[in-house]
A and B are shown apart, each in its own frame.
Chain A
Amino acid sequence: MITIVDYDAGNPRSIINMLQYLGHRAELTGDPDKVAKAERLILPGVGKFDWGMQRLHDKGLSAPLDEAVKRGVPMLGICLGAQLLTRGSEEGALPGFGWVPATTVAFDRSRLDTRLKVPHIGWADTGWNAGHRMAVDTPEARYYYVHSFHIACDDPRTELCHTVHGYRFTAGVERDNVFGVQFHPEKSLSFGMAVLSRYAGL
């Protein structure tokens, strides 16, 4: 069973749809007890960093999430959910979970030519770094992105995958049992299915 954390940040229905299509059982819950006992977690999310983090605190979910992750339960953050795995974001003032040695930073517009917009929206070819458990071997993989901030790792070995929008940036992270992807696997056709299948099979 994959437990998807419900904290009112965006719409997780597409993630459930894709997991069910792939034959995996998934439940959406905002119940701290269920989250604490989860076998496998997904932290989705669309919205602002502080809003998401505050919402997790208010719903009593941040402590059970932290316990579960420290117990070794696999955790996959998607989009804002991936950014919340880091220590904090230039978008907000609240600390993130800090499970991954990285921070979340704004796109450096001075490095983008005028044709390139922020938010970065659309499909982008994405490369996977070898030596990670979550890495998929899809040739010419591409995924759908919608974001204005991206993760910056302290140590390049934490980087799971990468893409380019004006410049190369980290598109995913892996640290022990904690994984995060900036793109939306649930909106990324069979490319995204391979990512969710990989996670479900870890």
Chain B
Amino acid sequence: MRRIRVIPVLTIDRERRLVKTVAFGKRTYIGDPINAVRIFNTKMVDEILLLDIDASVDGRGPSFEAIGDIVEEAFLPMGYGGGIRSVDDAAQLFQLGLEKVVLSSEALANPGLVTAIAERFGAQAVAVSLPYAKKLLGGQQVLTRSGKSKTGQAPVEAAKAMVAAGAGEIIVYSIDRDGKWSGYDLATATAVAEAVDVPVVACGGAAGLGDFLPAVQGGASAVAASSLFVYRAPNQGVLISYPDEADLKQQLFQKLD
């Protein structure tokens, strides 16, 4: 049986609070990230991605102490992204016990940073997140600084450049679908997966277990979601949750054999 990683994405703000965005805009306060991680431990989560969505906008580096407090509670592989600007930032994060760093804004501006971190810690330890949105006149482009700056690069083009620089994983993150419960943007996730030979993680829009299978059949190696794992349902209260192993097996893993 092939296992697929199903990854909760936890977004924290400059106050180190767990928040959830809609289309990288409107924010809802969810709770304490440490609490969420404790719950995810007991729910047998494969991996967690922790993203500080204010770091690059604020022009600051990672909040190492706060991240350390969160990682200390995670008895599972965890990646972190937000404000990583140097090999030294990455080294400090690995010292905290993280498995993986997630680069985005800085990597797109300076692909050499991906290369330098991958050379020192291995490609498997460097993921690049590509948040992208539709352009007004058609097509898509990758955005940086939490969706505030345009790169002019299409997701496939950016993914190829990041893999050439040494990225070991690409997170294809649809801003338009973030928090919308509309399912993944399968066309883009598939196009990126076909263009690169490293694992691709589909992110943005998942509304239920049923969205995972088509993403994997389209070529994604893993699936990530946020709203789905922090809300009871669309427009309802906070509930940290994760699918049961039995449901994952029945509705995902066993359908891939």
Contact = CB atoms under 8 A, between A and B. Distances in A.
A123 to B, nearest CB: 6
A21 interface: yes
Interface residues of A, number: 23
Given A11-B94, A187-B99, A144 B76 contact: yes
Contacts of B5: 122-123
Interface string A109-127: 0000000000101111100
B95 interface: yes
Contact of A146 (B42, B46, B76, B124): B124
B44 interface: yes
A99 to B, nearest CB: 27
B187 interface: no
A147 to B, nearest CB: 10
B75 A189 contact: yes
B75 A11 contact: no
B1 A125 contact: yes
A119 B122 contact: yes
A197 interface: no
A80 B186 CA distance: 39
Contacts of A144: 76-77
A109 to B, nearest CB: 14
A20 B3 CA distance: 30
Contacts of A123: 3, 5, 46
Nearest to A124: B3
Given A119-B122, A125-B1, A187-B99, A21 B75 contact: yes
Contact of A11 (B1, B44, B97): B97
A188 B245 CA distance: 15
Contact of B75 (A122, A142, A193): A193
Nearest to B121: A46
B57 interface: no
B77 A187 contact: yes
Interface string A85-124: 0000000000000000000000000000000000101111
Contacts of B75: 14, 17-18, 21, 186-190, 192-193
B246 to A, nearest CB: 10
A157 interface: no
Task: Tell me which of B3, B76, B122, B245 has the highest count of chain A C-beta atoms within 10 A of its own C-beta.
Answer: B76
Interface string A162-202: 00000000000000000000000011111011000000000
A13 B96 contact: yes
Interface in B48-103: 71-72, 75-77, 94-97, 99
A17 B94 CA distance: 15
B73 to A, nearest CB: 8
Interface string B108-138: 0000000000000010100000000000000
Interface class of chain B by DSSP:
loop
Contacts of B99: 146, 187
Contacts of A189: 41, 44-45, 75-76
B247 to A, nearest CB: 15
Task: Tell me which of B75, B95, B96, B99 has the highest count of chain A C-beta atoms within 10 A of its own C-beta.
Answer: B75
A63 to B, nearest CB: 28
Nearest to B73: A17
A180 B46 CA distance: 23
Contacts of A125: 1, 3
A144 B5 CA distance: 11
Contact of B95 (A13, A124, A142): A13
Contacts of A146: 99, 124
Nearest to A10: B94
Contact of B3 (A18, A122, A187, A193): A122
A17 B37 CA distance: 14
A140 B253 CA distance: 14
B197 to A, nearest CB: 9
Given A17-B97, A187-B77, A190-B41, 10 more contacts: A14-B75, A21-B75, A146-B99, A186-B75, A187-B75, A188-B75, A188-B76, A190-B42, A190-B75, A193-B75
Q: Which 4 A-B pairs have the closest CB atoms?
A: A14-B97, A13-B97, A187-B77, A121-B124
Interface of B: 1, 3, 5, 41-42, 44-46, 71-72, 75-77, 94-97, 99, 122, 124, 245
